[in-house]
Amino acid sequence: MVLPEVVCACCVCLPGVLMLVAVFTTQREKACDVAHWRTLIALAMAALLFSVIAAIVAPGLQLVRPWLQPSQFGAVLAVLVQLLGTVIAAFSSRYLEGEPRQRDYMAALAGVLGAVHLLLLADHWVVLILAWALVGGALQHLLCFYADRPFAQLAAHKKRAADRLADGLLLGAAALAWGQVGSGSLTDLGLYLARHAMSTAMHASAMCLVLAVILRTALFPVHGWLIQVMEAPTPVSALLHAGVVNLSGFVLIRFAPLLEHATAARILLTAFGLGTAMLAGLVALTRISVKVRLAWSTVAQMGFMVLECGLGLYTLAAMHLIGHSLYKAHAFLSASSTVRSTRLQIMRAGGAPPTSAIRCLLAPAASTAAVVALQALTSPAAWPWWWSAVMGFAWAPLLWWGNRPSGYRARLLHGIAGLLMICALTGVALLAHAIPLGIHDVPHPRLGLLALTGMASLYGSVAVIQLRPHAMRGWRRWSYAGFYVDELYTRMTLQLWPTQWTR
């Protein structure tokens, strides 16, 4: 087994090395010529090929005992990270053309990608904690690329404070689990949990892990830094929202055996995830700036992903992670064209009639019925009944949101188009359960009912805003201000860890 392991290790490590070579050999203080671009594309494609080989060969083989061992899902994410990293690096070459610190930027970008690869391969507490800390440290240089933008400096300081607290909690989780298992290996942790009942120390380890994930994922109330780093370069925003914040979802899926019987930790995940999804979703409706609105959307999506992990629906969380990464990378890199298309959509919808109350009431029923009907085609059911209702409320606005045409026939066609989109999304969710990612779901019925109640409340709030916007004027003011949560966190952070963030 020595030779396959060496080959597998090379396949996994070479992507980061090749990307590092590519960015240093192609970046200059002047524009890249054709030869440099060809070199960048060739090395990036070679790195992507090695990642694909790693995804096929690596799962199940220990690379460097006992520190690295990629799971099936981790290998798939390694390919995704390399693909997105290649696109973002090529975009950055043009976006930052002529910048005086372009070489430092590309070095930090390569450092982030390499650290993310290391985290995806980690099979030991020490490697995981070290890799996550390296991701934050390398990302810090990208967030503060423009030194004359004070809000980015403040946001980076708040993120640094949250990261240091998260590192301490991860060390506590590792110490507690290590003392029970007798080893720092995550594979040994899974084997131990399969044979022994959850002890008090393991419950405490799960709680520390969950709190660290909440801090790293930018959930309420520590979400503010993710909004304020919009002053960083656009490719940095794409990297942050498409890859870095999604790492928390991967970590939760990686520690699914620990969370399976840790009810208190799952309640905490569900509460923070549901609360963040509801509040951030309402705030996103009030924002006009494209990048800021996308940032609030990321906060809401991260809350929803953490909610899925708290409910034990890890397969859906994995699909959510991959889909969100692809969508946010495209959304940020095409932000300029999004502004134009949004303005055109507003102009086309300027004379549209308001949404009717009947459509708002019937939309959840129609959406849920479509999800249940498609799920009935699979046996056994891919997810519990209450999650079908949750997705029904989440996707119901597709039946009446956006450009609302006038006339019965036009409205009927608009509703059919929305229904077809809901069927397509349900089909993708069902397809995700057929892909062998090595993930096992453990649904929690009582927490599922809580999530259903919260999603129904969120849908009701959105419907009331659409039907009676003037009646929700006071609520919209609070929502636009982010419910003043970040101001309290910022004040507390600067009191506990003062810094000079303005010139």
Maximal C-alpha separation, the chain = 70
419 or 405, higher pLDDT: 419
Average pLDDT score over residue span 262-280: 93
Whether residue 458 sits in one domain with residue 484: no
Rounded-to-integer distance, Cα 256 and Cα 190, Å: 9
Residue 382 lies in a domain: yes
Q: Is 473 helix (H, G, I), strand (E, B) or coil?
A: helix
Residue 131 lies in a domain: no
In terms of phi and psi (left: phi > 0; alpha: psi -120 to 50; beta: otherwise), the region of 179 is alpha
pLDDT reading at 177 higher than 70: yes
Q: Which pLDDT band, with edges at 50, 70 and 90, does 212 fall under?
A: very high
**pLDDT on residue 32:** 45
Same domain, 289 and 389: no
Query: Is residue 405 predicted with pLDDT exceeding 60?
Result: no
Residue 206: what pLDDT?
A: 95
Confidence of residue 30 (pLDDT cuts 50, 70, 90): very low
Going by C-alpha positions, the residue among 117, 134, 27 that lies closest to residue 77 is 117
Residue 184 or 402, more confident: 184
Whether 190 and 309 map to the same domain: the answer is yes
Residues 225 and 326 occupy one common structural domain: yes
Q: Are residues 303 and 424 in the same domain?
A: no
Do 117 and 156 share a domain, yes or no?
no
Q: Which whole number is the average pLDDT over 374-379?
A: 82
DSSP one-letter string for 5-69: HHHHHHHHHHHHHHHHHHHHHH--SS---HHHHHHHHHHHHHHHHHHHHHHHH-TT--SBTTTB-
Q: What is the mean pLDDT of residues 207-214?
A: 95
The winner for highest mean pLDDT among 36-50, 255-269, 345-359 is: 255-269
Q: What are the backbone angles phi and psi of residue 149, rounded to the nearest 5°?
A: -110, 105
Q: Are residues 425 and 486 in the same domain?
A: no
pLDDT at 433 over 80: yes
- Four-CA torsion 110, 116, 122, 126, nearest 10 degrees: 80
User: Is the pLDDT assigned to residue 9 strictly greater than 60?
Assistant: no
Question: For residue 44, what are the contacts with CB-CB under 8 A and spacing of at least 6?
Answer: 18, 19, 22, 86, 89, 90
Domain presence at residue 204 = yes
> Residue 341: is it exposed, middle or buried by C-beta count within 10 angstroms (0-12/13-18/19+)?
exposed
Name the band, by pLDDT with cuts 50, 70 and 90, for residue 431: confident
**Distance in angstroms (rounded) separating the CA atoms of residues 300 and 285:** 11
First to last CA, the chain: 58
Host domain of residue 359: 355-467
pLDDT band at 31 (very low <50, low <70, confident <90, very high): very low
**52 burial via Cβ count (<10 Å: 0-12, 13-18, 19+):** middle
326 part of a folded domain:
yes
Mean pLDDT of 222-247: 86
Do 251 and 385 lie in a common domain? no
Mean pLDDT of the chain: 81
244 in any annotated domain = yes
Rounded CA-CA distance 269/251 in Å is 13
User: What pLDDT score was predicted for residue 354?
Assistant: 61
187 and 271 co-located in one domain: yes
**What is the Cα–Cα distance from 231 to 228, expressed in whole angstroms?**
7
Query: Residue 211 pLDDT more than 50?
Result: yes
What SS3 state is found at 169?
helix
Q: Is the same domain home to 449 and 476?
A: no
Phi/psi for 62 (5° steps) reads -80, 125
**Per-residue confidence at 54, pLDDT binned at 50, 70, 90?**
low
Cβ pair 319, 429 in contact under 8 A: yes
Report the predicted TM-score, pTM, of the whole model to 2 decimal places.
Answer: 0.86
Residue 240 placed within a domain: yes
Task: Give the phi and the psi of residue 292 in degrees, each rounded to 5.
Answer: -70, -40
Band (pLDDT 50/70/90 cuts) for residue 170 is very high
What is d(CA 46, CA 65) in angstroms, rounded to the nearest whole number?
27
SS3 state of residue 286: coil
* pLDDT 10s digits, 453-469: 999 999 988 888 888 87
Judgement on whether residues 369 and 463 belong to the same structural domain of the protein? yes
* 144-159 per-position pLDDT tens digit: 888 777 777 888 888 9
- Tokens representing 287 are 């924002």
128 in a domain, yes or no? no
> What's the number of domains the chain is made of?
3
Q: What is the pLDDT of residue 28?
A: 45
The mean-pLDDT minimum among 227-231, 399-403, 417-421, 442-446 falls in 399-403
From CA 321, how far away is CA 237, in angstroms rounded?
17
Is there a domain that residue 348 lies in? no
Using DSSP's 3-state secondary structure scheme, residue 71 falls into: coil
C-beta of residue 116 within 8 angstroms of C-beta of residue 70: no
- 327 and 388 together in one domain: no
46 exposure class (CB count in 10 Å sphere: 0-12, 13-18, 19+):
middle
